[in-house]
């Protein structure tokens, strides 16, 4: 099988070049051509030795992903659907703002976590993406945008691993991809501007702290285990207290001095003032010292058959006000790209589900809409933003 150079971080590429009898500086040259200039044809890499340019096509390629579609939102958001083979497709979203350009990148075809409010989770899981498939999304989007805008300057300033999939369940492919994003010979993004969002894979949070600490966002969505077990099934394995302990262990390595907690606002499910006060207590008092945190409230984006509704705006604002008054900086995420179904929680490529998740979730939807609404609170105690 031909080697795809998008699968390598710089160390990997240096090792590959070594196998070809080439020195490390050749790997740096190749890496820069690929990631900084968007080149895929070796003959255009003019500072490589001619003999190497002639040798490379027989042993490797630079292969992006076929684009199945592109949708442009009225607000400037762009969504691509990339073909990853065997009937699977993943989505990638670019969100432009005045002071930054953020790319939301997928890590898996589908997702096995099966969060109750997430369109991807309802599709089930097919497979992990390779490092090359994760990077191909950034590689394509960055160079498409430069051509489109007629600039040689960097357009994508932030990457969030918040597309389809749980990135920490694809750890082996994720970390080399992150390294390419951070590498000065690659995309040169600062650690603060690359965010991994996780539903709470505790052991991998610890590994990420050692291997490649970038900004961490935790999809919390509930304030007690009874409710989170239903909304984020991974909670049954790694309950809230263990997750917050992992956050505390992560912080010394993190590029920011807080963890971002994402909280999807679901009408009548997790959006009441009591929930806000419980969340406040959780974040302020966990382990006796609290977890330095920012909270991002995400208005739920309904999708067909979700059986859930978005909290009314005044309810969202009241929730945020309680947190802000309690000393936790809280913002409400602006909905972007909702006219092209590119908003948070709406990503849903085409997935050949190998897990029967869609069937199980459909069953759970029938069984649990009402139980979700009456889950009691625990008696004690996981951009483009508007201040709440
Ligand atoms: S919210 Fe994230 S972890 Fe949960 S199902 Fe969706 S993609 Fe997976």
100 alpha carbon – ligand 1 mean position (Å): 25
Residue 33 has pLDDT above 90, yes or no: yes
Report the C-alpha gap between 94 and 265 in whole angstroms. 23
DSSP 104: E
Looking at the structure, do residues 46 and 188 belong to the same domain, yes or no? no
Ligand 1 center to residue 236 CA distance, Å? 15
Q: State the average pLDDT over residues 5-25.
A: 97
Note down the domain range covering 82: 67-387
316: helix, strand or coil: helix
**Measured in angstroms, how far is the CA atom of residue 45 from the centroid of ligand 1?**
40
Q: How far apart are CA 22 and CA 15, in angstroms?
A: 9
Residue 381 has pLDDT above 70, yes or no: no
Q: What is the pLDDT averaged over residues 43-67?
A: 96
Domain-ending residue, one of 12, 38, 61 = 61
- Is any atom of ligand 1 closer than 6 Å to the C-beta of 118? yes
Question: Ligand 1 centre and the CA of 199: distance in Å?
Answer: 7
Is 118 annotated for ligand binding?
yes
Regarding whether 41 and 124 lie in a shared domain, the answer is: no
- For the chain, strand residue ranges (E) read 3-4, 60-61, 67-72, 78-85, 88-96, 101-104, 108-110, 125-128, 158-161, 194-198, 215-219, 259-265, 293-299, 329-333, 385-387
pLDDT at residue 239, rounded to an integer:
98
End-of-domain residue from the set 37, 61, 85: 61
More confident residue, 340 or 312: 312
Catalytic residue among 22, 60, 91, 278: 91
What's the pLDDT band for 60 if we cut at 50, 70, 90?
A: very high
Asked whether 113 lines ligand 1 (CB < 6 A), one says yes
Return the percentage of the chain with pLDDT > 70, whole number.
88
Considering the domain architecture, whether residues 15 and 149 belong to the same structural domain is answered as no
| Domain end position, chosen among 14, 43, 61 | 61
Same structural domain, 297 and 215: yes
Q: Is 216 in the pocket of ligand 1 (CB under 6 A)?
A: no
Domain CATH code at residue 14: 1.10.150.530
311 is in an annotated binding site: no
Whole-model pTM?
A: 0.91
Residue 353, pLDDT score: 67
- One DSSP character per residue, 10-71 reads HHHHHHHHHHTT--HHHHHHHHIIIIIT----GGG-TTS-HHHHHHGGGTEE---PPEEEEE
Together in a domain, 57 and 72: no
The residue-averaged pLDDT of 239-243 equals: 98
Does 357 score more than 90 pLDDT?
A: no
Residues 144 and 47 in one domain: no
* Active-site residue flag, 91: yes
Tokens of 235: 């909670």
**CA angle (252, 258, 259) in 5-degree steps:** 100
Instruction: Report residue 155 as tokens.
Output: 């357009």
> 89 and 55 in one domain?
no
Residues 128 and 210 in one domain: yes
Among the listed residues 83, 105, 219, 102, the one whose alpha carbon sits nearest the alpha carbon of residue 161: 105
Are the beta carbons of 209 and 249 closer than 8 angstroms?
yes
Torsional class of 39: left (φ above 0), alpha (ψ -120 to 50), beta (otherwise): beta
Count structural domains, the chain. 2
164 and 41 within one domain: no
Please tell me if the CB atom of residue 111 comes closer than 6 angstroms to any atom of ligand 1. Answer: yes
Regarding the beta carbon of 199 and ligand 1, being less than 6 Å apart is answered yes
Same domain, 335 and 368: yes
Q: Which letter does DSSP use for residue 212 in this model? A: -
165 is in an annotated binding site: yes
Ligand 1: atom nearest CA of 198 is 3
Computed over every residue of the chain, the mean pLDDT equals 90
pLDDT over 70 (residue 372): no
Bigger pLDDT: 369 vs 56? 56
Query: pLDDT per residue over 205-219, tens digit each?
Result: 999 999 999 999 999
């Amino acid at each position: 099988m031909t080697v795809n150079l998008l699968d390598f971080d710089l160390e990997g590429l240096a090792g590959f070049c070594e196998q070809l009898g080439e020195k490390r500086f050749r790997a740096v040259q190749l890496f820069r051509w690929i990631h900084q200039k968007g080149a895929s044809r070796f003959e255009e890499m003019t500072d490589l030795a001619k003999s190497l340019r002639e040798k490379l096509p027989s042993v490797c390629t630079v292969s992006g992903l076929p684009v199945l579609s592109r949708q442009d939102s009225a607000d400037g958001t762009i969504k691509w659907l990339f073909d990853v083979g065997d009937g699977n497709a993943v989505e990638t979203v670019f969100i432009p703002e005045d002071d930054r350009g953020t790319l939301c990148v997928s890590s898996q075809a589908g997702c096995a976590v099966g969060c109750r409010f997430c369109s991807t989770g309802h599709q089930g899981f097919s497979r992990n993406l390779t490092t090359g498939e994760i990077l191909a999304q950034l590689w394509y989007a960055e160079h498409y945008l430069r051509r489109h805008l007629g600039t040689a300057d960097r357009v994508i300033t932030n990457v969030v691993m918040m597309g389809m999939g749980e990135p920490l369940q694809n750890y082996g492919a994720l970390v080399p991809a992150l390294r390419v994003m951070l590498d000065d010979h690659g995309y040169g993004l600062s650690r603060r501007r690359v965010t991994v969002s996780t539903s709470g894979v505790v052991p991998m949070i610890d590994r990420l702290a050692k291997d490649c600490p970038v900004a961490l966002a935790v999809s919390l969505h509930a304030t007690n285990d009874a409710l989170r077990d239903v909304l984020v099934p991974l909670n049954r394995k790694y309950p809230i207290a263990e997750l917050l302990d992992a956050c505390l262990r992560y912080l010394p390595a993190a590029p920011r001095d807080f963890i971002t907690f994402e909280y999807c606002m679901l009408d009548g499910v997790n959006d009441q003032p009591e929930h806000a006060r419980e969340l406040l207590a959780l974040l302020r008092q966990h382990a006796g010292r609290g977890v330095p945190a920012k909270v991002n409230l995400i208005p739920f984006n309904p999708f067909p058959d979700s059986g859930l509704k978005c909290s009314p705006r005044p309810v969202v604002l009241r929730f945020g006000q309680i947190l802000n008054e309690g000393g936790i900086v809280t913002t409400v995420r602006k909905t972007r790209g909702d006219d092209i179904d590119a908003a948070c929680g709406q990503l849903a490529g085409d997935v050949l589900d190998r897990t029967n998740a869609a069937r199980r979730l459909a069953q759970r939807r029938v069984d649990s809409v009402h139980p979700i609404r009456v889950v009691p609170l625990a008696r004690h105690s996981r951009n483009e933003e508007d201040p709440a």
